[in-house]
Each structure stands twice: as structure tokens, then as C-alpha cells.
Amino acid sequence: MTDLSGKTALVTGSVQGIGMEIARALAGAGARIAVHGLAGDEQAREACETMEKAGAPEAEFFPGDLRNPTLIREMMAAVHAWGGTDILVNNAGIQHTAPLGEMPAETFEQIMAVNLHACFHTMQAALPEMARRGYGRVVNIASVHGLVGSVNKAPYVAAKHGLVGLSKVAALEYAAAGEAAKGGVTVNCICPGWTETVLIEPQIAARAKTFGGDRDKGVADLLSEKQPSRRLSDPSEIGALALWLASPVAHNVTGTAIPVDGGWTAQ
């Protein structure tokens, strides 16, 4: 049910964290992996080797600064020439926390560029070809902050809400592309809550300071405010869900925003 043999997947931000675990899950199902990220030669090589060890018949690194639409178009053209994009996972993201009145305008623009605008550009490049092939999967890694707000995260919340909305529009526009036998074309969001990644380390460190540097207590304090399960998610769990959404069996799941948030948005 999750066989992706013969498929090619581009996962942005796949040299670490959630992106790496998603790419690893897709590789384990037999997909070729187009690895992406801001990485040096060694890190890029290691990421590609990781994908091949996981089961990818081939893995190649594709650079591209997602703040730059021209570089995004060049990256998408290179992936297309390599074999096309059957599966697109927009995972790359950046974060900065500050009150709205103190948020640097340049920081706001950069977060919007990476977390939202880049997804528009990659989807615009990939979806028409997916429709022509009759099979395509877009999995956008949004956030619980694409469903609810939080203080001190204006650009991140704005971008992730925008990504959920953008994904719904794309899902509707391509819902009738392809057919069940071929797999169709779907667009969905995964909305993680607190997940064990480097992105949340600054927030954990800030909480830990109030407990004499005790990281475990800092994590517990952070979770107690929003996540009823009181448990962090592991990036591999997001990878498992992304794999299912990318599979042929999920042909009738489109336009969704699926929380993985320990009950955060159920409150």
C-alpha cells in the first residue's frame, strides 16, 4: 500500500530534522529522493547516502535558496530534468520569535518567503506536470500554528495559516486530475505541534533557564501550556504520516490539514 517504486520525491529542507525523516520514510518505500537544504558538500553527501541506505534507488542533492524565486525555479527545472517530481514535500521552514511591535520587517519578509512563498513557487512548477502524469502528491508541512495563533510568532503564524489556505485551493483545483487507478493528484498539510527538532531549541533553552538549565523541565513547562499529551512528537512519526499521504492508497484524501499535536487543537 505504500510502494513508491518508480516515483521521485523532492523534500525541501531534508538534510536534518523532520525533512530528513520524511525523506528517509519515502526512500524506504522505494522512491528516488531529491535532497534539498542549505548544506555544505559533506552534509549534502551524507544526506544522500542516508537516503540510499534507507532504500532509495538513487538520491541527489539539489541546492536552492528558498528566499529567491529565481533559484527556486532553477531547482525545480533541475529536478524535472532528473526525472520529475511525483511527490513534493514542502518542509523547509525558519522561525523567529518576538512581539509584533518588535519584529524586524526584514525577518517577517524572510519567514514569509521561505515558509509560504517558496511553497507557491514549487507547487506552481510541480502540479501541472503531476496532472499530466495522472499521479502526484504534495505534502506541505504546515504547523499547529497554521490552525491556531500564538503570541510572538506573527510571521510564522501568518505564513502557516497561508500555507493551509493555499493547499486547500490547490487541492480543489487538482482534485479531478488523474483517476483512482493511477492515484490522482492530492495536496495536503501536516500540522505538527511540539516536535523534537532544532527549530524549537531556542524556546526550550529559554524555558530551561527558569529551571537552572534543566532541559527536561524546560520541555515539560513548554508542553504544559499547549499540548495535552505532554509528549513531544518524534520527526519519524511525521515521516510515517507523510509516507501514507504520498502513497497511492491516499488518492481520496486531499485538502486536509492533519494535526499531530497531542490534542492541542482539540481544546
Which residues are annotated as catalytic? 156
**Distances, alpha carbon 248 to alpha carbons 40, 117, 213, in Å:** 34, 28, 46
- Per-residue pLDDT of 87-128, as tens digits, reads 999 999 999 999 999 999 999 999 999 999 999 999 999 999
**Distances, alpha carbon 117 to alpha carbons 34, 65, 163, 213, 218, in Å:** 20, 12, 9, 37, 33
- Report residue 1's pLDDT band, with 50, 70 and 90 as the boundaries: confident
Calpha distance 258→157 (Å, rounded): 16
C-beta separation of 20 from 235 below 8 A: yes
Calpha distance 231→179 (Å, rounded): 39
Calpha distance 162→134 (Å, rounded): 27
Half-sphere exposure of 259 (CA within 13 A, CB side): 15
Its sign, for the CA torsion 156, 256, 72, 55, is positive
For the record, the C-alpha cell of 129 comes out as: 506536470
Please determine, for residue 180, whether its predicted confidence score (pLDDT) is greater than 90.
no
Give the architecture-level CATH label for domain 8-193+234-259.
Answer: 3-Layer(aba) Sandwich (3.40)
SS3 136: strand
The domain segmentation of the chain, as residue ranges, is: 8-193+234-259, 198-232
For the record, the C-alpha cell of 23 comes out as: 525523506
| Chain centroid offset of residue 172 CA | 20
- Per-residue pLDDT of 208-237, as tens digits, reads 999 999 999 999 998 998 999 999 999 999
Looking at residue 159, its pLDDT comes to: 98
Look at residues 192, 191, 200, 127 and name the one whose alpha carbon lies nearest to residue 163.
191
C-beta separation of 185 from 132 below 8 A: no
